[in-house]
Amino acid sequence: MDAFLIKGPVRLAGTVRASGAKNAALPALAASLLTDAPVTLDEVPDLADVRTMAHLLGGMGVSVERPAPGRMVLDASRVTSTEAPYDLVRTMRASILVLGPLLARFGEARVSLPGGCAIGVRPVDLHLMALEAMGARIAVEKGYIHAHVSRVGRATGRLTGTTIRFPTSTVTGTENVLFAAALARGTTVIENAAREPEVADSALLLTRMGARVTGAGTGTITVEGVERLSGTGASPHEIVPDRIEAGTYLAAGAITGGDVTVTHARARDLETFLDALRRAGAGVEATGGAVRVSASRELEAVDIETAPHPGFPTDLQAQFLALMTQAQGTSRLVETIFENRFLHAVELARLGADVRVEGRAAVVRGPARLEGAPVTASDLRASAALVLAGLVAWGETRVRRIYHLDRGYAAMDERLRALGASVERIDG
């Protein structure tokens, strides 16, 4: 099992390019099930989760090709199975995104209950509630979701548009309904829809395929169902830049007192996070498609509270917590999205961080002198937080179980080395 060996402290400087967003690429791959025409995607990141989704689709009969780095061509004209098996779904929660497309196009699906990071329950109840409201019959048996739409004679049954109001904002729930509604009969209105840029990117892809979607990026999305969707045509759909990866490298620059520019980044998708960096005393500049952070003076403690977009991203909470270990004063970080997302706090304390967890909040006092030690990652973003802490810790830090990291960051060791870090991938 791989680990990172990090020697610190270091000061990062230079430029790194953000990849396409994992959280936009995975639903885009799932959306290929909605049509029998080829779907071509650009800026697809080379990540373990993307490979898992491609393998899952391949097992259903979807042709998946990579004609060039970052490009994928998917052809779902010969789907042979509407089942998503446990062995693949258990490793990645985003696998649930095949449920809506399979139901919409084929009228049936058998999808294992998903797995993923150990950061909370994250039930799929809202997905099932919404699809049932659209006419699906759903049963959960022996760890599988069995869903179908009643046939009309020999014809595949179609879902029916309706108004769905989510009691809480859900990104994958919004995307699943968005996909299902694209081929449903009539109009579907999604209220309290997730506003994340990745949801808007999914809607843009569907629109290019012939769907009728309005309101994406707001709290109300309206979808007028169509009989059939096409592919992407002559030009590929370009996946939106990964705001979480961009934010992670900006935090790495700030925590090391460095000067880091992230290209292929959209500042408008990171406004709340960039504001927190500014309040902490880091210099932030956004020009065109790049964001630069410089931290030449002592950082100051900042309180944050995670919230659905456009609030502070939960996927950057762990990285910001690591940053606050080097800030002067006491900061309080409140996690409102997931109930178990401070597992990294214990590992940061092993490095010398002064952090305590109080329910859904973490209180950090700094600056702390971190000392290298072996630590173990519990999930994807916790892995990134431990790497950031290792960059400023004195001596050697060994971050174990970085297979979590590989799910969301392409070649992170290589990119950090290009910025001046001493990071080595080892057998750990």
Say whether 133 sits in a helix, a strand or coil. Answer: helix
Residues sharing a CB contact under 8 Å with residue 291, sequence separation 6 or more, in sequence order? 246, 250, 261, 262, 265, 267, 270, 274, 284, 285
Catalytic, 117? Answer yes
In what helix (H) or strand (E) does residue 252 lie, and over which residues does it extend?
Answer: helix 243-255
**Residue 230: beta bridge partners?**
none
Residues contacting residue 12 through CB under 8 Å, at least 6 positions apart: 252, 253, 256, 258, 259, 260, 391, 416, 419, 420, 421
Dihedral of CA atoms 66, 97, 179, 119 in degrees, nearest 10, equals: -120
CB atoms within 10 A of CB 361: 15
Q: How far apart are CA 114 and CA 95, in angstroms?
A: 7
Interatomic CA distance for residues 376 and 88, integer angstroms: 24
Choose the catalytic residue: 117, 246, 322, 402: 117
Longest dimension (CA), the chain: 72
Write down the residue that tokens 């949801």 correspond to: 199
Taking CA atoms, 250 is separated from 87, 148, 265, 367, in Å, by: 35, 45, 11, 19
And the tokens for 404?
């979590």
36 dihedral zone (left: phi>0; alpha: psi -120 to 50; beta) = alpha
Q: In sequence order, what are the beta bridge partners of 109? A: 147
CA torsion sign for 134, 145, 199, 43 is: negative
| Chain CA centroid to CA 144, Å | 24
Residue 353 · residue 364 · CB < 8 Å: yes
Structure-token match 């095949």, residue found: 98
CA-wise closest residue to 211 among 79, 42, 65, 39: 39
Active site residues: 117
